[in-house]
Structure 1
């Protein structure tokens, strides 16, 4: 495959692109002559859809929000950027980061139960798979939507947001269609809706001093660091020869200094044994020089053992969901910084750069004769799946946007919430995963290269996410909720940003939207007591009790 024939996450300007079709009506294959998603074909004729609740963003949080609105008797429109629903969960991230499973309630638990069944079915087919299959995840999401009679509007890319005072009145899409609603939910990974609505946001890492944190801002990686000293210069030992690609020179900021760097993105490849799959493709634009630092790392210590696991690297490569593993891996460090605020054309270029980088890396690991033979042979023993991501020849259709914009509202979730020094009274769900950030840069330290930005710090136990963190300031927007890019610091978002939590927050956001409609109030004025009652009735888990903690500790001891 020379390049992805499709868009920012998958097929774009395809057959029926401007249609207002439900999930089952989307064509299975794109027009093979198309290469990029942009521009979008105009709707013919352009239509205006009027609903109670408009959800924008095809993530799991969007699926949950749209489904919940319909379950509560409201008419919802679910508009998604591309041709798929389920975001990263149907885009390759099937080894789901759950944190503490007891903290997952509502639709998050509903999905995981269905996925567990799918996983068992997959295990019966191929021994050793990690997680359910991406296509199985999308099937589950589509069924949730169809069972709730949710109309899905594919390839609807937000152009402008119309407002009357503090209220959004309509979303206008690039194809000419518009959706008018009483309430809106931003379920995108980037925060595209709230940004166009004039809501305040932040991109990057806050300074530690901004919110009294200790692990935000610039810092050398605590994990996934270089296993041994690696010379950073083009000509080993010669600073005058310049730095290898991917290393930032210059004086280092003080630890904890804020910046605009965004943690690295990658594709969550879904691998199979080579005999059952598609060989790693050599991308157009492949440049061996892009992997000079990786070559240096893999050949500095000829006795080093590479197990292709998190602790070893260079890539976590196995049957099923594969991920970044180490200081030089599938994460394209430094290439994500412009994504959050970029327009669609610029994002397409960044997307394709990630394709070229990661496909090129896998080709390099499998074929470059200067690498250890064991590395090459192990890489070649795997390949891309024939039965997944058919539109993109086995390559994931979704780029893992780990972090985009983050809203700044009246309450900002911080490290204090993650370590339970501050517990909010208005919970709309629990988060429990490690405070986790991938690398943001590689820097020069005492003549050696070091990875920077990665943190993996466990939280003591699940903690509540505030309702105030999923609604903007009332003076900015009074009928919008945000289920993914909520108000939080870089550190706190690293713990909250898990797909099941996005489902929890999406369900809670939709519940609040419906109650705001029924009560005739702004989202900021929703009666939390009534909201809590409905969330509990829908099996959301809103607090972590002493009894739950004791049960978790007891279960841990048994294991």
Structure 2
């Protein structure tokens, strides 16, 4: 029997059944969770993955291209399992080559439905036990050790346990519930606004790209941000970011409500299909259901005016028609854990080397500013390391975090949040969990050299360690 107080209900104590037990439990089946589970299952451990939706792939299923495979010098810096996943997608015509991009360094177009199918195939082939429609509602703790998570589903409330747990929720849901200190947003708590992606068909993408490529520099009436006209003359599949003058004209002439100062168009792999990344809902907290609901409602309201703008002002869209929205809001930022090391903007911009590097990234600091319609972009000129310590939270001994919620500042998170980088972190987290279970040691206690060795053996790109200054070498010897 329940009892009710002024603003809460007291539920009676109950016994919670254990639904499953694993060596490694991965929570969240997005880009990081996918590779975490695959890496953890490589040599026979029992691995479980729970996902709240009916499919795996996360943000790879909402129409976004995968950013981050290429570095700022044009070299490929994400390899290993993420590349194997792209290779499998290509077999189904579900992914493009890694295309250089002056703005994003590299773009890899993927077909959302192929992502869902291929990701699930790879997981089941690897022996990963996947459970859909399953929410993480709490944690099971034993002192500073997490034994597993409490889940809610059609099956009711239950516990799923793991010797090591990997939080790949993107929102640090497991870590937060386990008592790991977390931060959100910038110094004022402002978080990057999310986008509800949507898709149009019937677009003449050749007319669109050539309308930019053929414009003489002195006669162009609109500009693309950082991407020269010549790029569009050479690439049939592309991202357009810009056309600011056209948006301003549409707002003035038709009074359209467009909450973004840039047009962002991504060509799909299907002919005439484009995805639009232009809705922008400020003030959404991706860890709050009511706020997310507001974001979905507002995002859908914005679509009609954006489509009207595209059809009436952007070349190639004259016969375009709306086909679908993404299955959920694209969330750019929520919680970040406080881990053994907090990555900073300086680490990114100085192309910092770390002795415990387990992945390399190169995507620029890319912050959709919380308070206005603009975006901040800062490039480092090369690539930078992701340290293992940033995946290891404080206060909980057998938990690993992978994806955009690792230990980083607001600014550094703006760089490491893209999907290829999250996949690389996930791969490292899965191998770390495997080593932890095999050696009966906590993730913080394992030898990082063993993780690095296994990463290299599986084709992961890691940079040569930076040489220490001579005086530092001497001091160490003394």
TM-score band by shorter chain is 0.7 to 0.9
Distance in 2, Cα, partners of 1:120 & 1:321: 15
- After the TM superposition, which residues 174-193 of structure 1 pair with which residues of structure 2 at under 5 Å, given as runs? 174-175=152-153, 176-193=157-174
Distance in 2, Cα, partners of 1:109 & 1:366: 34
- After the TM superposition, which residues 494-505 of structure 1 pair with which residues of structure 2 at under 5 Å, given as runs? 494-505=414-425
Q: Call closer, same or farther: CA 1:316–1:160 in 2, change over 3 Å.
A: same
The answer to whether the aligner puts 1:151 opposite 2:129 as a matched pair is: yes
Instruction: Return the match for 2:189 from 260, 265, 271.
Output: 260
Question: Could you say which residue in structure 1 is the equivalent of 2:309?
Answer: 365
Instruction: Return the match for 2:435 from 501, 515, 518.
Output: 515
- After the TM superposition, which residues 43-192 of structure 1 pair with which residues of structure 2 at under 5 Å, given as runs? 48-94=19-65, 96-100=67-71, 101-119=75-93, 131-175=109-153, 176-192=157-173
Kindly indicate whether the alpha-carbon contact (under 8 Å) linking 1:169 and 1:182 is maintained by their aligned counterparts in 2.
yes
Instruction: Return the match for 2:321 from 359, 371, 383.
Output: 383
The answer to whether the aligner puts 1:316 opposite 2:316 as a matched pair is: no
* Residue-by-residue CA offset, 1:96-120 (whole Å, 9 max, x unaligned): 4434252112111212333345447
Question: Could you say which residue in structure 2 is the equivalent of 1:463?
Answer: 384
Cα deviation for residue 130 of structure 1 reads: 8.2
Distance in 1, Cα, partners of 2:325 & 2:355: 44
Q: Call closer, same or farther: CA 1:459–1:153 in 2, change over 3 Å.
A: same
Cα deviation for residue 504 of structure 1 reads: 1.2
Question: Could you say which residue in structure 2 is the equivalent of 1:481?
Answer: 400
The answer to whether the aligner puts 1:298 opposite 2:249 as a matched pair is: yes
Kindly indicate whether the alpha-carbon contact (under 8 Å) linking 2:351 and 2:385 is maintained by their aligned counterparts in 1.
no
Q: Call closer, same or farther: CA 1:524–1:331 in 2, change over 3 Å.
A: same
Q: Call closer, same or farther: CA 1:261–1:414 in 2, change over 3 Å.
A: same
Question: Could you say which residue in structure 1 is the equivalent of 2:215?
Answer: none
Distance in 1, Cα, partners of 2:118 & 2:158: 28
Cα deviation for residue 46 of structure 1 reads: 6.0
Cα deviation for residue 314 of structure 1 reads: 3.5
Structure 1 runs not aligned, ≥5 long:
1-44, 124-128, 206-257, 276-293, 303-307, 368-372, 386-393, 443-450, 547-559
Whichever structure has more strand as a proportion of its residues is: 2
Instruction: Return the match for 1:428 from 355, 358, 361.
Output: 358
Aligned residues: 388
Q: Call closer, same or farther: CA 1:298–1:119 in 2, change over 3 Å.
A: farther
Structure 2 runs not aligned, ≥5 long:
1-15, 98-106, 205-244, 467-478
Cα deviation for residue 496 of structure 1 reads: 1.0
The answer to whether the aligner puts 1:196 opposite 2:177 as a matched pair is: yes
Partner-residue secondary structure (3-state), 1:509:
helix
Question: Could you say which residue in structure 1 is the equivalent of 2:201?
Answer: 272
Question: Could you say which residue in structure 1 is the equivalent of 2:331?
Answer: 401
Kindly indicate whether the alpha-carbon contact (under 8 Å) linking 2:69 and 2:76 is maintained by their aligned counterparts in 1.
no
Q: Call closer, same or farther: CA 1:80–1:420 in 2, change over 3 Å.
A: same
Cα deviation for residue 533 of structure 1 reads: 1.4
The answer to whether the aligner puts 1:339 opposite 2:286 as a matched pair is: yes
Q: RMSD of aligned C-alpha atoms?
A: 3.2
* Residue-by-residue CA offset, 1:199-234 (whole Å, 9 max, x unaligned): 1111011xxxxxxxxxxxxxxxxxxxxxxxxxxxxx
Distance in 2, Cα, partners of 1:429 & 1:179: 29
Distance in 2, Cα, partners of 1:545 & 1:528: 14
Q: Call closer, same or farther: CA 1:380–1:152 in 2, change over 3 Å.
A: farther
The answer to whether the aligner puts 1:416 opposite 2:367 as a matched pair is: no
Instruction: Return the match for 1:355 from 288, 296, 300.
Output: 300
Cα deviation for residue 466 of structure 1 reads: 0.3
Q: Call closer, same or farther: CA 1:86–1:121 in 2, change over 3 Å.
A: closer
Partner-residue secondary structure (3-state), 2:160:
strand
Partner-residue secondary structure (3-state), 2:295:
helix
Distance in 2, Cα, partners of 1:384 & 1:545: 50
Q: Call closer, same or farther: CA 1:401–1:114 in 2, change over 3 Å.
A: same
Give the TM-score normalised by the residue count of structure 2.
Answer: 0.74
Partner-residue secondary structure (3-state), 1:71:
coil
Cα deviation for residue 323 of structure 1 reads: 4.1
Give the TM-score normalised by the residue count of structure 1.
Answer: 0.63
Distance in 2, Cα, partners of 1:411 & 1:75: 30
Kindly indicate whether the alpha-carbon contact (under 8 Å) linking 1:57 and 1:79 is maintained by their aligned counterparts in 2.
yes
Distance in 2, Cα, partners of 1:118 & 1:512: 31
Partner-residue secondary structure (3-state), 2:286:
coil
Distance in 2, Cα, partners of 1:61 & 1:120: 19
* Residue-by-residue CA offset, 1:305-328 (whole Å, 9 max, x unaligned): xxx9x9x9444264445344xxxx
Cα deviation for residue 509 of structure 1 reads: 0.6
Question: Could you say which residue in structure 2 is the equivalent of 1:441?
Answer: 371
Partner-residue secondary structure (3-state), 1:193:
helix
